[in-house]
Chain A
Amino acid sequence: MSIYQRSESQRDLGAVPHTGEDVLPDGHLVEPQAGDFRHARAAPSDPEWFKRAVFYEVLVRAFRDDDGNGSGDLRGLTTRLDYLRWLGVDCLWLPPFYASPLRDGGYDISDFRAVLPEFGTVEDFVVLLDEAHRRGIRVITDLVMNHTSDQHPWFQESRRDPDGPYGDFYVWGDDDSAYPEARIIFVDAEVSNWTYDPVRGQFYWHRFFSHQPDLNFENPEVGEAMVDVLRFWLDLGIDGFRLDAVPYLFEQEGTNCENLPRTHEFLKRCRKVVDDEYPDRVLLAEANQWPADVVPYFGNSDVGGDECHMAFHFPLMPRIFMAVRRESRFPISEILAQTPRIPSGAQWGIFLRNHDELTLEMVTDDERDYMYAEYASDPRMKANLGIRRRLAPLLDNDRNQLELFTALLLSLPGSPMLYYGDEIGMGDNIWLGDRDSVRTPMQWTPDRNAGFSSCDPARIYLPVIMDPVYGYQSVNIEAQSNSTQSLLNWTRRMIHVRHEHPAFGLGTFAELGSSNPSVLAYLRRFETPGGDEPDVVVCVNNLSRFPQPVELDLSEHAGEVPVELTGRVRFPPVGELPYLLTLPGHGFYWFQITRDQEAP
């Protein structure tokens, strides 16, 4: 007889396996095991895949509705894998699809081992994974280790029975006085990092929303349980995790409770599990901090990194927008110059847009004002410390700028992360609340519901974009895949060019200065292991809307021939004198520098 009370979101899990469907005599909850499910076939082995990969962030809810209930699901996503393969995507990043009361976009997880019912089941996920791997596509997802939903059975048990096996799973206190130096992150929503729980009669600690109690990593059983969660999904075949909110795992009096040494110790432990048991899988740190503060999350560089394989480079993105508006390379050059070297086994993740607002946390107040003035003319476009718009509307739907930004994303150091819909220049809907403006259904066809769902349009989770410029009747995959001139086909070609040159993913980066401040030029170079000719790519970007000349010092490559990568056109050979190029407004070139005097 179980005395355990199922929470609301747990009740939805009905007949599917879920945490707490049974209780062991010692009070431990029974949790689903990987062995209970079929496992996906493995992706082709490739230890450095994540350094070369083009990532694609897709919201399960927004991509394709298979069962016609108005909300996208895992099966729907599975049916669109051929499209993603055609586009050239190497890895999907899925924001959380776990069971959740959805009070924080699914980042409030109420069961680490069950899928949100509206998205499908663990079995559906395994099918997605298997089909993706069959096409050479990998899949990673978010994992929130720092906290759970207050609906998670662990928390329900912890508050009910302080002496039970979960009594010490969360950070409890008799008062709200501990860790006063820790800042409140969601200042708009929370007044304290402590909230009183009337059930247990104590305060619990939470760095984010009060409905997201922090797990107590001081308790070794919590670390153990979290490693088991990793193993659960890794056994099913997942290719890695984006670790959400990593800086906050541990607390320590007298500190701001961020980036503590014990947090790093725990990440090292997770990495060891991956290295020992699950080769080719990756950990990606989400830490919205300055690059110098993020680099420790790659771990010890003497061994090539022993914590996360990847981390997001947050400050780069707003500076790309700033540089183009200012027609000056310095916002980008500066942040890249401030970015420390990373361990040999590590890689940055870079992006232009994602499911969150265009975050302006990593800029100065002045720069933020500037960004608001330039990119958020309507106050409704702002959200938290950022701008809740998609790429195309941010750039006034200007094709030249869309291409320039995408070319920068695909060629700057790091693995690019595309956001679903940006490849066709989808619009946003600033009348929708919070960040829903950038989470509307994917636009597949000019048909009803943009081909996203067969449901009654009134049932759709968010209305499809219907305005005259970005509406699905004109902006959709079907129309754009039929036109060779479309943004979609252009993006696809660029992704394919990127794939042909290891220099983009694996190469070194060196900026090529020039006296023209509006031109950003850099050289990517990869020494091929066989000692053959190195792969050398030069990227030249005109951040100005006006045509610009630039003289580049390529004297190191005197006698070699630049070949433009999209059209294979050979340019005049490099001589001793500076190499002169002219670029149209917002134009860019990618060249391979080849020693071969004949056509490559």
Chain B
Amino acid sequence: MTQQETSSVIAELADTLRDWLPEQRWFAGKDRPVHAVTAVRTVRLDGGDPQLVHAVVEVEQGEPKPDRYQLILGLRSDVPEHLGHAWVTALGDRVVYQAIHDPELTALLLDLLAEGAEVDGLSFGHEPGVDLDPTQRSRPIGAEQSNTSLVYGQSYILKLFRRLVPGTSADLELHRALAGVGCVHIAAPLGAIEGELDGEPVTLGMLTEFLPNTADGWAMATASVRDLLAEPGAYPDEVGGDFASEAHRLGHAVGTVHADLARALGSSEAGPGDLSTLATAMHARLDAAQQAVPELAHYEVALRAAFDEVRTVGGPVPMQRIHGDLHLGQVLRSVTGWVLIDFEGEPSAPLAERVAPASPLRDVGGMLRSFDYAAHHMLVGEVDPDQHATAALEWAGRNREAFCDGYAEVAGDPREQAVLLHAFELDKAVYEVVYEHAHRPGWLPIPLVAIARITGHGDTRHDR
């Protein structure tokens, strides 16, 4: 196939892709019909058979600005059995399939990264001083994720971003900045695939060190909760599965990452204007949430009061780059300690907002909410949830404290900024209410009860 022919592949596939895209778990517009799929650019990365085609497509779904996605397709005249599940469609005498499942083709991506190649506007590069071993064989990871990650051997992990927005990805930017100051709580960035979109640079892929033998914070924390709930009447520090020392270490790691981010990219102090903007944004999110979930009305006065208090926070409030979407699922326990991943920020926010300086307490609030979730999610659907409610609350309280203790060892003690911290927690809980209402109504009590507790509507005795 010539380069000319390559550029027409997407056009020929347009009809197929309209049906195929919504079936992909990384496709963000599942709730709307796909009207048209057109190629933004198509690059043939390797000729021959099989052939690797890189495409950026525009998906028309009736929005003013269509979404753009990255596709990595393979073309073969003969598809071996083990690639059967990657089949997309037939095109002439060849089969189009998802190249991420074909180690023969993904090896090429690693080759190009190792070489530092430029191919028709796609630039593959490795970080300075990094020497990649291109012989590692890849496999896609099985995780439910919004992008697609390939693990090469036990050495590298390549995240291919699916929905593209112009600009350097915050994930790549922060990984680079943190590596630059020697941060030990991240996977080392090793390389990137970059291109151009709307005349701006765009990050298509990020290669980092793969950390073998990790478990994520959610799995670790819930193992501990499970252990506690099996001992009726026990206090969390009395059972073997106590998580406090891990929570402490995790707090220390997050504090270190914050300090490193401030060191690498600077920090400033929030002015009264910033705080006011923050409060306004929280109110606005509550407005929208109340539309969707009328139950929130019950807490509205207390929530608004908590958000208003943000405007009057005294003393310096440091602002800096933060993780932006921190929870137990974004931290991995490796054999050397905790590592933070996925610095993309709040997924639904526009890039400009995601890269703006923010209070690190926002990350802390996210993590504290996550402890609360870990403690309570097992109670969902129980016949008598009250039976374990005390234990769950004690678990959350103990581990939230331990997390803050660890954090305070390296950065400021978050509990000293109670007004701000509570506001961030409530803001996050409001977001959770909307999410659970739409997706998992059974879980709705988790954020609702938390809001009641933090705002003093419910039993507050165990609140941290």
Binding site for B on A (CB under 8 A): 324-330, 333-334, 336-337, 366-367, 370, 373-374, 511-518, 544-546, 551, 553, 555, 576-578
Is chain B's binding surface mostly helix, strand, loop or mixed? mixed
Question: Does B215 contact A337, Cβ atoms closer than 8 Å?
Answer: no
Q: How close is B331's CB to chain A, nearest CB, in angstroms? A: 12
Which residues in A have their C-beta under 8 angstroms from that of B238? 373
Which residues in B have their C-beta under 8 angstroms from that of A576? 82, 139
Which of the four size classes fits the interface of chain B?
Answer: 20 to 34
Closest residue of chain B to A513 (Cβ to Cβ) is B213
Q: Given contacts A325-B241, A515-B219, A578-B142, is CB(A333)–CB(B227) below 8 Å?
A: no
Q: How far is the CA of A576 from the CA of B333 in the complex (A)?
A: 26
Q: How close is A83's CB to chain B, nearest CB, in angstroms? A: 35
Q: How far is the CA of A370 from the CA of B142 in the complex (A)?
A: 36
Which residues in B have their C-beta under 8 angstroms from that of A324? 240
Question: Does A327 contact B223, Cβ atoms closer than 8 Å?
Answer: yes
Closest residue of chain B to A575 (Cβ to Cβ) is B82
Which residues in A have their C-beta under 8 angstroms from that of B227? 327, 544-545
Which residues in B have their C-beta under 8 angstroms from that of A367? 245
Which residues in B have their C-beta under 8 angstroms from that of A517? 215, 219-220, 223, 333
B263 interfacial contact with A, CB 8 Å: no
Binding site for A on B (CB under 8 A): 82, 139, 142, 212-216, 219-220, 223-224, 226-227, 230, 238, 240-242, 245-246, 333, 335-336
Q: How close is A578's CB to chain B, nearest CB, in angstroms? A: 6
Q: How far is the CA of A103 from the CA of B220 in the complex (A)?
A: 48
Q: How far is the CA of A546 from the CA of B220 in the complex (A)?
A: 14
Q: Given contacts A326-B242, A374-B240, A513-B212, is CB(A518)–CB(B82) below 8 Å?
A: no
Q: Told that A329-B215, A333-B213, A518-B223 touch, could you supply 13 new A-B pairs with CB distance under 8 A?
A: A326-B224, A326-B241, A327-B227, A327-B240, A328-B241, A330-B335, A337-B213, A366-B245, A511-B213, A513-B215, A514-B215, A516-B219, A544-B226
Partner of B214, one of A336, A513, A518, A551: A513
Which residues in B have their C-beta under 8 angstroms from that of A336? 335
Q: How far is the CA of A33 from the CA of B323 in the complex (A)?
A: 74
Partner of B335, one of A337, A373, A544: A337
Question: Does B215 contact A326, Cβ atoms closer than 8 Å?
Answer: no
Q: How close is B96's CB to chain A, nearest CB, in angstroms? A: 21
Q: How far is the CA of A374 from the CA of B246 in the complex (A)?
A: 17
Q: How far is the CA of A518 from the CA of B82 in the complex (A)?
A: 31
Which residues in A have their C-beta under 8 angstroms from that of B82? 576
Closest residue of chain A to B217 (Cβ to Cβ) is A517
Q: How far is the CA of A551 from the CA of B213 in the complex (A)?
A: 12
Question: Does A328 contact B220, Cβ atoms closer than 8 Å?
Answer: yes
Which residues in A have their C-beta under 8 angstroms from that of B240? 324-327, 374
Q: How close is A345's CB to chain B, nearest CB, in angstroms? A: 27
Question: Does B213 contact A515, Cβ atoms closer than 8 Å?
Answer: no
Q: Which 6 residue pairs across A and B have the least CB separation, nearest first?
A: A513-B213, A325-B240, A517-B215, A337-B335, A333-B335, A517-B220
Q: How close is B156's CB to chain A, nearest CB, in angstroms? A: 15
Which residues in A have their C-beta under 8 angstroms from that of B245? 366-367, 370
Q: How far is the CA of A337 from the CA of B242 in the complex (A)?
A: 23
Q: How far is the CA of A330 from the CA of B217 in the complex (A)?
A: 12
Question: Does B333 contact A555, Cβ atoms closer than 8 Å?
Answer: no
CB-defined A-B contacts under 8 Å, sample of 10: A325-B240, A326-B242, A328-B220, A334-B336, A370-B242, A513-B215, A515-B215, A517-B220, A517-B333, A577-B142
Q: How close is B223's CB to chain A, nearest CB, in angstroms? A: 5
Q: How far is the CA of A545 from the CA of B82 in the complex (A)?
A: 37
Q: How far is the CA of A553 from the CA of B141 in the complex (A)?
A: 10
Which residues in A have their C-beta under 8 angstroms from that of B212? 511, 513
Q: Given contacts A511-B213, A517-B220, is CB(A330)–CB(B333) below 8 Å?
A: yes
Q: How close is B259's CB to chain A, nearest CB, in angstroms? A: 23
Question: Does B335 contact A334, Cβ atoms closer than 8 Å?
Answer: yes
Which residues in A have their C-beta under 8 angstroms from that of B333? 330, 517
Which residues in B have their C-beta under 8 angstroms from that of A578? 142
Q: How close is A586's CB to chain B, nearest CB, in angstroms? A: 12
Which residues in B have their C-beta under 8 angstroms from that of A334? 335-336
Q: How far is the CA of A330 from the CA of B216 in the complex (A)?
A: 12
Which residues in B have their C-beta under 8 angstroms from that of A327? 223-224, 226-227, 240-241
Q: How close is A489's CB to chain B, nearest CB, in angstroms? A: 29
Q: How close is B415's CB to chain A, nearest CB, in angstroms? A: 21
Which residues in B have their C-beta under 8 angstroms from that of A370? 242, 245
